[in-house]
Structure 1
Amino acid sequence: MLPKGVPMDYNQQNKPIQARVPPSRFVQGTGIPALNSSLDVSPERKREIFVLSSDHYGSVASTSKSQPTKTPTPVLVQHEKLTTSSFEVGEDSGEDNLSVRIELFIFPPQNYQTTRQRRHSGQQGACDKEPAQISLVMARTRCEPATQCIKRMELSLAKKLKPVFLDEGRISQNVRKEKVSKKGLQKLDVSAFLLQEDKLARLEETDMGTMTTEAFFRLRPSQSIQIIVKVDSNFVAEIPITIECNPPTIVSVQTFEKFHSKIFPEVPLVVEVETIHATGAVIDWYVGQNLVCHKSSCYTPTFGLAKKSIGIVITPYRDDHTGRGFEEAYEFAEKVEENLPENATLHARQNWLLPLEQTMATKELRVMSYNVLADQNAYSISDGQPFFPWVSADTLNRARRMPLILHEMLSYRADLICLQEVDELVYETLFRPCMRCFNYQGYYQGKKSNGTKEGCAIFFSLSKFEVTSESNLTAFGISELLIKEIPYLQPGDWNDCAQPVVDLLARTPDLKSVIQHQLGHVLQVAHLRDKRGYPLLVANTHLFYHPAASHIRALQCFAIAYKLSEEQRDMGDVPFILCGDFNSEIWNCPRLFTQHQTQRNFCIPEVTDWQKDLNTFNFFRDSEEPCSPEFHNDFPSLQLPKNFPEIISGYPEYPELTHYVLGFQATLDHILMTRSSSQGSLTPVRQAPIPSLDSITRDVAMPSKRFPSDHISVVSDISWQRKIKT
């Protein structure tokens, strides 16, 4: 539990609960928030309790807390104010429908309970439990007479309040100690009065009686309306309501796995809040009753918090409103784990886990590339069996894997991070918000395939690089380059080199169709500038996975080389770094970058059936249809223009492997770079070690408890020298 007075509420399932019902979306065309139907529209909410005697009805409550006393009618009120209400006026949409939204949160007198509560608690009389909150939401038109709106409020509240005062035919502790029959209770009357100069009056009897609903509520921010509850002529209770105009409101709260992710020591938690009518929101973090972090969207649990719960209280605010009374509270469903699971990759790289200041050498870059294994691919089926049968579902669960991957990403303090197989949801709810808290800028591009919700992401440290505009963060569909751009190049070096590609796709319509309609791979490109003012081009990609598709990956490499040369030319011959999962060894498809050419039918014959795969390629290789005899069965030699820059590997020593599953291991993940350009040179200095094969096979293969992905991250330190033009 949180300290008394903080609106935190927990349920028995230990799941997050809204402290109040937040509007979660907007009614089309009005700008007015609408309630999410999946939320409980009348949740209980714990608040500070003040007591007013009958002599103080209508007055403002004291700000000091007091213990309940024997007063005629205890009244539950909220903080410094009485029972609250709020209304919100949307932008003028040209229509009057749903233009004014009114929310009322009413706390009946403390000694009254609904019959539903009594049945649940098994008690017959008054109990110590806090009475249920009564909530009412109204959507009224702007130009409606205020008197009509107030009348509707009275009728709706009469229906809502009836069960509160119904207690087996009698009313407990009403002011006049009079018994009221159940029959009489059917005539419950709720009347609203305005408080003006310490006097109560009906709206129609005041000078505001002719106002519209919008004008009335705009005129009365932080003023009181008195609701009088009567049965026949018997006075039962008086409920003061304070009206607030357009209060700061929380629209949505977002965190990874909706508060249900695993929580590990030293792994950050991050929460993002969307508000309306607010400057921002203060997020306070609690462990038990202790405030552990104030005013931060990110909190990193420490060791020693094992099996403890973490909660947050969110307070929206603006300059003229503290947000008090409009807070929301949430609790993370999982308790803090006792230990951070072993990461075998980090264990092999102890010397790379240095403090930030030791890795920020002015002339060096630390570059990381990592295929993080998308959630949809983690549960892939091959021949009717799980692709990773040695891994339990709990270990594969992204709620466990992704926080551990985030921890590894942050551990190296890399200047550039290129990720592949990133789930869009994971990027939006975990990677992006958390990396931003650690001073990284990034962007994401999903694959352009239908039904695919994963893609590539680039992050760069703002301690090393300048903030970059969105126009300098772009992405290109590789298939679109092959089908829609390369065949239409102007005469020149690239047009001549592209002709074999154009001819091949023209005579293999099945291959062209697969590339055009089924492959959505992308090339991310970032135009960066470091704190010294030096320009750098950074690219990230993930090529086609299929074992029999080396020819497709070679075509993709050609398209990437073309686009990078275009981007480099536009920036003035700057150096570039290309990272990615190429699904190929460096001597296979990527040799086009390092050697500028491939030989005819360069692939190993035992791996690729050229006659079948080149002409009639399909994903599952279940087609036994013969090839059309008129098709040419050779894959052409590919060549890059002579002015294409020299490309070298970022590995001083080529790794033994970066990917290991049962029956297959290879170095598929690469960091490539230009050796020299007119504006600078790049030279690999050192690379992070790869875990031993024994440590990988300790749990059969990857992924496993010690390896959260089926790939190993690759990290290189690169010397970056600027050439001075003479």
Structure 2
Amino acid sequence: MMTNVLIRNPFKSRINITLTSLKNIYKTLCIRENSLKSNFKMNEAFIRYDKGSETFDFTFRYVNPELHVDRQFNTVRKASESVKIFLTRLDTNIEKKIVNKKKKKQKKEPEYKFEENVDNVSAEKIILMKGDKKVELNEPCTSILDDPVDLKIHILGNDYIIKFNAPCIQSMELPQCLLAGFPAYPRVFESIYTDITKSKFTWYKTNSNDKKITWEEIAHGSIYTPTTNDIGSMLKLKCTPVNDKLDGPEIEVQSDSLVQAGPGHCPFEDRHNFTKDKLTGKNFRIISYNILANIYADSDYSRQVLFPYCPPYALNIDYRKLLIVKELIGYNSDIICLQEVDKKVYENDLIPSLSSLNYSGVFSTKGEMSEGLSVLYDNRRFEIIDSKCTVMSEEIDNNQTFKNIWDKITNDNAKKRFTDRNTSVLIVTLRSIDNPSEILVIGNTHLYFHPDADHIRLLQAFYALTLLQQTAENIKKINPNDSVSVMLCGDFNSTPVDGVYELVTKKNIPVDHKDWQSNKEQIIENTSLSLNLKLASACGTPEYTNFTVEFADCLDYIFYDTDKLQVTQIIPMPKKEELSLHGAIPSVVFPSDHVAIGANLKWSC
């Protein structure tokens, strides 16, 4: 849940807040008692129970206008206890609240009399019903939990329909940074029994003057893009969770901050002109993007040394992730391979925002790191068959082709440097829904970055490629009648003149290749590499995919199976003038030091 309400402006808001608007802001904040609020209907109660569990949850809203009681009650009870014990506990909880109210009323009205310690269960003022029949008090609760059809409960004059395992939102938050022109979404969305694509979302903004704060309904849907008219307002989101059978209690949450002016037009929006439409049939679109993990951007070193040209507020992840989400949505991609993905960003931002657009995903950290790799896919176009993330240094023995090469290496310093790395490859196998006989085996990786580690990157690339091929062969054995294609995406930290690119595209690295000698203490001798895969770079070799003041070159690639796939369009890259407009990237309009690359492909057959 959100913490105390504060006026936060960590991103150098471009709006001028006058004394009058400050009064309005203060009034807006004062109307908030809790960030997250449940709006239960008066005639609904909820049981949550998983078969075999020792406990169940019961929730309902009780209203007594005469005593000014309007309270949500939540209780956790043992499934094995009797119905009488369960109802008696409800009675006790309600009576505590009612008696307190009656005592207060009695102080104001001495003639007011009431009776304490009333047994409302025995008096049949609290009754559990199944259909038109009263459930016997000596029945165990498991008897209704195992057959929860047509349950109702009568509580002190109020009748409730009991919904069993209805959709329920456990946590929901809004982004702490809200920018005009950039998507707002439930950045945390934790729920059970809920289909976010079916759930109902309504957005509101504050309208304030010197006398009164009101909320104006402005949009429907899980994602809302604030306009310039919303600058200076707070936002509120209401959500009714829904699944195939039921809806649950409405939840609402208000923003902690005001909508601020955004940076204006971003160059990636020009690229969106080429990706306006979703692809169909044998065509699909794939994106690969190193989105710059927060641990590499949020430090004094990154602000002062790596990216001194970028304003600190534009390095803040709360700012950058809004640009990232907007950019990804606009590509209308079928498959998205991401590197340097923060675990929290994946769970709290990417999945909540993109799942409402029918994306599912796989994520894995690199060993014990807080960042890692992710593959997202449109679940209307692909279904997942399998996924596995492998830390290369930990599973050498499980890749026999690689191990054959590994055993020939005699330089222990080189071996140690390889095994000290947590470099990983995430392999996800997808089946096309439009073309069920087509299977894609997609690898996603981020190779070691150090300038004197070309030999390590060669070994890492060889490991990823041979594991990818091994996975494809195993998938083919299981699905002999299907066509299996392979792709390898990622940040390879290798330029087109380096050995990694040569290995992938030419399938061979000789024993005398210069990259084996990139570190004098770790020279690898008498070792050559060869592959059977026929791969090419879908986006060619752009001049830049990484662009900083100190370094700019092509490091990112989407390699595809040339026997099975063909490229039909490459998403144009930004111009150098755009990349250098603010010195380099990241900047106020580029959220990462890398540029997303993307292409449209189709199955050849």
Match for residue 695 of structure 1? 578
Match for residue 178 of structure 1? 111
Shift of 1:579: 1.8
Q: Does 1:17 align with 2:35?
A: yes
Structure 2 counterpart SS, 1:712 = coil
Match for residue 604 of structure 2? 722
Structure 2 counterpart SS, 1:700 = coil
Contact 2:204–2:219 (CA under 8 A) maintained in structure 1: no
What fraction of aligned residue pairs are identical, expressed as a percent? 20
**1:191-590 to 2 correspondence within 5 Å?**
191-192=119-120, 211-212=138-139, 214=141, 221-226=151-156, 240-242=157-159, 244-247=161-164, 249-253=166-170, 259-265=175-181, 267=183, 269=185, 272=189, 274-275=191-192, 282-288=199-205, 289=215, 291=217, 296-301=221-226, 304-316=229-241, 323=248, 326-339=249-262, 341-347=264-270, 349=271, 352-356=273-277, 360=279, 366-380=285-299, 382=301, 387-440=306-359, 442-450=360-368, 452-461=369-378, 466-471=381-386, 473-481=387-395, 483-486=396-399, 488-489=400-401, 499-504=404-409, 507-508=411-412, 510-516=413-419, 518-529=421-432, 531-532=434-435, 534-570=438-474, 571=476, 575-590=485-500
**1:147-186 to 2 correspondence within 5 Å?**
155-167=92-104, 170-172=107-109, 178=111
Residues in 2 aligned to 1:261 and 1:102: alpha-carbon distance in whole angstroms: 36
Letter in 1 for 2:296: N
- CA shift digits 1:554-603 (9 cap, x unpaired): 10111123223334545488553322100111211322222321553614
Contact 2:276–2:330 (CA under 8 A) maintained in structure 1: no
Residues in 2 aligned to 1:219 and 1:355: alpha-carbon distance in whole angstroms: 46
Residues in 2 aligned to 1:712 and 1:690: alpha-carbon distance in whole angstroms: 8
Shift of 1:398: 2.2
> Aligned pair in 2 of structure 1 residues 361, 330: CA closer, same or farther (>3 Å)?
closer
Count of matched residue pairs: 552
- CA shift digits 1:596-645 (9 cap, x unpaired): 2155361497xx5421xx2xxxxxxxxxxxxxxxxxx445543204xx24
Match for residue 23 of structure 2? none
> Aligned pair in 2 of structure 1 residues 138, 485: CA closer, same or farther (>3 Å)?
closer
Residues in 2 aligned to 1:201 and 1:645: alpha-carbon distance in whole angstroms: 71
Match for residue 4 of structure 2? none
Letter in 2 for 1:265: G
> Aligned pair in 2 of structure 1 residues 445, 17: CA closer, same or farther (>3 Å)?
closer
> Aligned pair in 2 of structure 1 residues 516, 313: CA closer, same or farther (>3 Å)?
same
Structure 2 counterpart SS, 1:399 = helix
Contact 1:354–1:412 (CA under 8 A) maintained in structure 2: yes
> Aligned pair in 2 of structure 1 residues 369, 221: CA closer, same or farther (>3 Å)?
closer
Contact 1:88–1:101 (CA under 8 A) maintained in structure 2: yes
Letter in 2 for 1:484: D
Match for residue 131 of structure 2? none
Match for residue 211 of structure 2? none
**1:587-602 to 2 correspondence within 5 Å?**
587-590=497-500, 591-595=502-506, 596-600=508-512, 602=514
Match for residue 626 of structure 1? none
- Of structures 1 and 2, the one scoring higher in RCO (CA 8 A, sep 6+) is 2
Structure 2 counterpart SS, 1:395 = helix
Contact 2:384–2:430 (CA under 8 A) maintained in structure 1: no
Greater CA drift, 402-411 or 382-391: 382-391
Match for residue 555 of structure 2? 668
Contact 1:284–1:291 (CA under 8 A) maintained in structure 2: no
Residues in 1 aligned to 2:75 and 2:174: alpha-carbon distance in whole angstroms: 29
Residues in 1 aligned to 2:510 and 2:339: alpha-carbon distance in whole angstroms: 26
> Aligned pair in 2 of structure 1 residues 477, 416: CA closer, same or farther (>3 Å)?
same
TM-score by length of 1: 0.64
Residues in 1 aligned to 2:237 and 2:176: alpha-carbon distance in whole angstroms: 14
Residues in 2 aligned to 1:356 and 1:279: alpha-carbon distance in whole angstroms: 23
> Aligned pair in 2 of structure 1 residues 241, 664: CA closer, same or farther (>3 Å)?
same
Contact 1:150–1:192 (CA under 8 A) maintained in structure 2: no
Q: Does 1:711 align with 2:602?
A: no
Contact 2:334–2:378 (CA under 8 A) maintained in structure 1: yes
Contact 1:687–1:715 (CA under 8 A) maintained in structure 2: yes
Greater CA drift, 243-252 or 589-598: 243-252
Contact 1:100–1:139 (CA under 8 A) maintained in structure 2: yes
Contact 1:310–1:331 (CA under 8 A) maintained in structure 2: yes
Letter in 1 for 2:545: T
> Aligned pair in 2 of structure 1 residues 171, 427: CA closer, same or farther (>3 Å)?
same
Higher Cα Rg, which structure: 1
Residues in 2 aligned to 1:253 and 1:144: alpha-carbon distance in whole angstroms: 26
Residues in 1 aligned to 2:496 and 2:255: alpha-carbon distance in whole angstroms: 45
Residues in 2 aligned to 1:455 and 1:408: alpha-carbon distance in whole angstroms: 20
Residues in 2 aligned to 1:140 and 1:159: alpha-carbon distance in whole angstroms: 18
**CA-based RMSD:** 4.4
Letter in 2 for 1:662: V
Letter in 1 for 2:183: V
> Aligned pair in 2 of structure 1 residues 594, 372: CA closer, same or farther (>3 Å)?
same
Shift of 1:462: 6.0
In structure 2, list runs of 5 or more residues that go unmatched. 1-27, 129-133, 206-214, 477-481
Residues in 1 aligned to 2:376 and 2:102: alpha-carbon distance in whole angstroms: 59
Structure 2 counterpart SS, 1:409 = helix
Match for residue 623 of structure 1? none
TM-score by length of 2: 0.75
Contact 1:600–1:634 (CA under 8 A) maintained in structure 2: no
- CA shift digits 1:138-168 (9 cap, x unpaired): 4444555655555555555554445434449
Contact 1:266–1:340 (CA under 8 A) maintained in structure 2: no
Shift of 1:545: 1.7
> Aligned pair in 2 of structure 1 residues 310, 168: CA closer, same or farther (>3 Å)?
closer
Contact 1:248–1:278 (CA under 8 A) maintained in structure 2: no
Structure 2 counterpart SS, 1:356 = coil
Residues in 1 aligned to 2:355 and 2:166: alpha-carbon distance in whole angstroms: 24
Structure 2 counterpart SS, 1:468 = strand
In structure 1, list runs of 5 or more residues that go unmatched. 1-9, 21-44, 48-77, 113-130, 227-239, 490-494, 615-632
Residues in 1 aligned to 2:280 and 2:127: alpha-carbon distance in whole angstroms: 74
Shift of 1:522: 1.5
From 647, 652, 661, give the equivalent of 2:535: 647
Letter in 2 for 1:431: L
Contact 1:478–1:523 (CA under 8 A) maintained in structure 2: no
Structure 2 counterpart SS, 1:503 = coil
Contact 2:342–2:372 (CA under 8 A) maintained in structure 1: yes
> Aligned pair in 2 of structure 1 residues 716, 106: CA closer, same or farther (>3 Å)?
closer
Letter in 1 for 2:512: R
Contact 2:445–2:489 (CA under 8 A) maintained in structure 1: yes
Shift of 1:221: 4.6
- CA shift digits 1:358-392 (9 cap, x unpaired): xx487765442211111222225649966434434
